[in-house]
Structure 1
Amino acid sequence: MSSTPVPPHGQSPLHVVHVLGRGGAGSGAHVRSLAAGLVARGVRVTVCAAPDAGQAYDFAGAGARFTPLPPCTDPVTVAALRSVCATADLVHAHGVNAALRASLALSGRPAPLVVTWHTKAYARGARAPVVRLMERRAARAASVVLGVSSELVDRARRRGARDARLAPVAVPAPRTEDGGAQREFEVEDRRLHKARAELGAVDRPLLLAVGRLEPSQGFTTLLDAAHAWCGLDPQPLVAVAGEGSQRAALQRRVDAEALPVRLLGRREDVPELLAAADVAVLTSRWEARSLLAQEALRAGVPLVATAVGGIRELVGDAAELVPYGDAVALARAVGRLLAEPERGAALAAKGRAQMAGWPTEDDTVAQVLSVYDELVSAGGTVRRG
């Protein structure tokens, strides 16, 4: 395992600033995991993110210094970030927007910039060229771009990255309220029963979808498919955890069409909900390394997902994959799993085998740290206290 050497007497340890953008749960959890692992290896870590991210991921609890900064590129925010980065040996940005802010803050500074691409932006019409320009600037500003899927690595190279590498990230182990790791799969039967009872799914199958209620997540297709499940006996309940701009429109459809769907809003107990579910459903237009997909396989819950982005690379044959936007295929795949429990059991077994090839949190930290060592050594960066 790569590790940063102990600095000579009088020198400060390596100082890395992580800049987090408007990313979802996957990137926030990844930065939290990285921070904990890097601090444990003697690296000094500062995390710059929105105030609510600091509360959600407890970066300070991981041993990092947390600096709340809004995820925008106005002069005041960039100046504040520039001040934080003044003592950094290296800056690690997560996402294109974060990379642009970090590159502005580092203008004229020798510290290298690492950028992790967790996802890709969707834009049509007049905004599409703007997004491509942002991606080009972010890719070319980075000393190294780390893509969490092969597709993102290829995208970074097309945008002009001088060095783009595959760096799949591990799904962090669940944390207890005090921040410690809890053993996997040990959720008591009574807690599962309670979760199902609260949702009204004690004597009926429970389907779980998780994500932002935005057009790219494909929840309109999920509601289309729910029509087919209305005729099943017992009728399954579809629970959707997440918030977003489509909340009101989706709820209107649920009410008007009498669909067996509950919009739960933002939930902090997704691992418990997932453990209680019979099937996990992922309907996104695009995903790199979906957090829900990883958690479903780890929990042994059968997964039906769209065959997009890095999903097939992530899950292999351990999930039922369907075309994006195909409500008929989605409904049939879920229906088969509910009707044939042995099919779900087979997927769970394949999921355990698939997980064996995934990186652990230690693997992820070691790979990132090796990149840091390489850049700092090559650049001869002076460690500043």
Structure 2
Amino acid sequence: MSSTPPPPYGQSQLSAVQVLGGGSAGSSAHVRSLTAGLVARGVRVTVCAPAELEKAYGFAGAGAEVVTVPRRSDPMSVAALRSACAGADIVHAHGLHAAVRTAFALGGQVSRSRPGAGSGGPAGGRVPLVVTWHTRAHAEGARSHVVRLMERRAARAAAVVLGTSSELVDRARSRGARDARLAPVTVPAARPPVEFVESKARAELGAVERPLVMAVGSLVPFRGYDVLLDAARVWRDHATAPLLTIAGEGRERGALQRRIEAEDLPVRLLGRREDIAELLAVADVAVLPSRWEARSVLAQEALRAGVPLVATAVGGIPELVGDAAEFVPYGDGEGLATAVLGLLGDAGRRGELAEAGVRQAATWPTEDETVAQVLSVYDELTGQG
């Protein structure tokens, strides 16, 4: 592990624990970036996460001590988390499941006593818990009641809830959060490798002489891929029918693949990919058909890359992208197809959206600004500000 610089004169080193549960791409990348920024500022960081997330994101390489905590919520996992948090000045959980597990682990725990620490924490001297809501859980029927209870538990256990969109801040307040604040998280920018060749990438995808449309995200119902396939059916018989590629994995893959084959749709499921930046760089249009999103990773990467975006006007998407996208209502397959085909046939409009996307991306907080905001919360809660 890399060494950390000493804390300011007269202060002891702040100890922060970052907790990840399932770890979406956005939250995991944020924790990696946050860890590196905190370590650079002299904070001692421990990351508690499943082993597969450490392998994918390399928190140890960012200077953290890594404690492997499985995704499951059995007593052994909670005990491992409790042990990792013992003596910490601040604990920061990312996501609903991580927040609930951490709240159980911290129950009754008292923070280490030392000058200048802990004075800003919750009543009773417990270790202050910060929770970031990166997105919201999607559940229906009886499961939705369980999710509401989990949200209440997480919101009320936290000294501060940080929401990545205004809607999530409002949701945290409605669930009983004492202090909920907007904290827009910007996913670190990805860059295609120097040796990247556009023609080769398009050839590998099968889109040499046809437009390429790209979607990215887990294959789960709320992503709206059933509606996206409706759109692909509309443009299937178009003279220059675009190829739709979807990068991601999930429980809906089988059903989506069967429909693609049954209806002979111009769609390829790519599975989980590590080269999203390269794939986006060759796309003519990116599409986000979700029922709900907070700060979509795809939207951020598309705007940064200057790729025109068609998206549903849901959740935090309008707040994130401003006027740098073509918006369609959720569930409107024909409208989605019309918007995509309209952009593919209008090079001028694609250019306008590409320029608007780069301008919009420049308004998002930098990684450094994100770290500074989080650290100011830590200082406030531990009395080090």
Q: How many positions carry a matched residue from both structures?
A: 365
Quick one: percent identity of the two aligned structures? 68
Superposed counterparts of 1:191-340, under 5 Å: 191-340=197-346
TM-score normalised to structure 1 length: 0.92
Runs of 4+ more than 6 Å apart: none
Aligned counterpart in structure 2 of residue 125 of structure 1, from 137, 141, 144: 141
Superposed counterparts of 1:102-117, under 5 Å: 102-109=102-109, 110-117=126-133
Give the Å deviation of 1:187.
5.3
For residue 341 of structure 1, what is the aligned residue in structure 2?
347
For residue 6 of structure 1, what is the aligned residue in structure 2?
7
Please give the secondary structure, in 1, of the residue aligned with 2:360: helix
Q: Distance in 1 between matches of 2:6 and 2:161?
A: 24
Report whether the alignment pairs 1:157 with 2:173.
yes
Give the Å deviation of 1:232.
2.4
User: Unaligned stretches of 5+ in structure 2?
Assistant: 110-125
User: Unaligned stretches of 5+ in structure 1?
Assistant: 175-183, 381-385
Give the Å deviation of 1:87.
2.3
- Which letter does structure 2 place at the counterpart of 1:253? R
For residue 75 of structure 1, what is the aligned residue in structure 2?
75
- Which letter does structure 1 place at the counterpart of 2:272? R
Please give the secondary structure, in 2, of the residue aligned with 1:263: strand
Q: Distance in 1 between matches of 2:71 and 2:130?
A: 18
Give the Å deviation of 1:228.
1.6
Cα pair 2:305 2:358 within 8 Å, conserved: no
Q: Distance in 2 between matches of 1:334 and 1:232?
A: 12
Alpha-carbon RMSD? 1.7
TM-score normalised to structure 2 length: 0.92
For residue 183 of structure 2, what is the aligned residue in structure 1?
167
- Which letter does structure 2 place at the counterpart of 1:347? L
- Which letter does structure 2 place at the counterpart of 1:133? L
Q: Distance in 2 between matches of 1:186 and 1:65?
A: 29
Instruction: Map Cα deviations across residues 81-104 of structure 1 (whole Å, 9 max, x no partner).
Output: 000000211000001111111111
Aligned counterpart in structure 2 of residue 142 of structure 1, from 127, 145, 158: 158
Q: Distance in 2 between matches of 1:192 and 1:144?
A: 45
Q: Distance in 2 between matches of 1:265 and 1:333?
A: 25
Instruction: Map Cα deviations across residues 182-235 of structure 1 (whole Å, 9 max, x no partner).
Output: xx57756x6221111101111111111001111111111111100122122322
Cα pair 2:192 2:278 within 8 Å, conserved: no
Q: Distance in 2 between matches of 1:141 and 1:214?
A: 29
Report the more deviating stretch, 157-166 or 353-362: 353-362
* Cα distance, 1:108–1:7 mapped onto 2, change above 3 Å: farther
Q: Distance in 2 between matches of 1:232 and 1:41?
A: 55
Give the Å deviation of 1:23.
3.1
Please give the secondary structure, in 1, of the residue aligned with 2:81: helix
For residue 59 of structure 1, what is the aligned residue in structure 2?
59
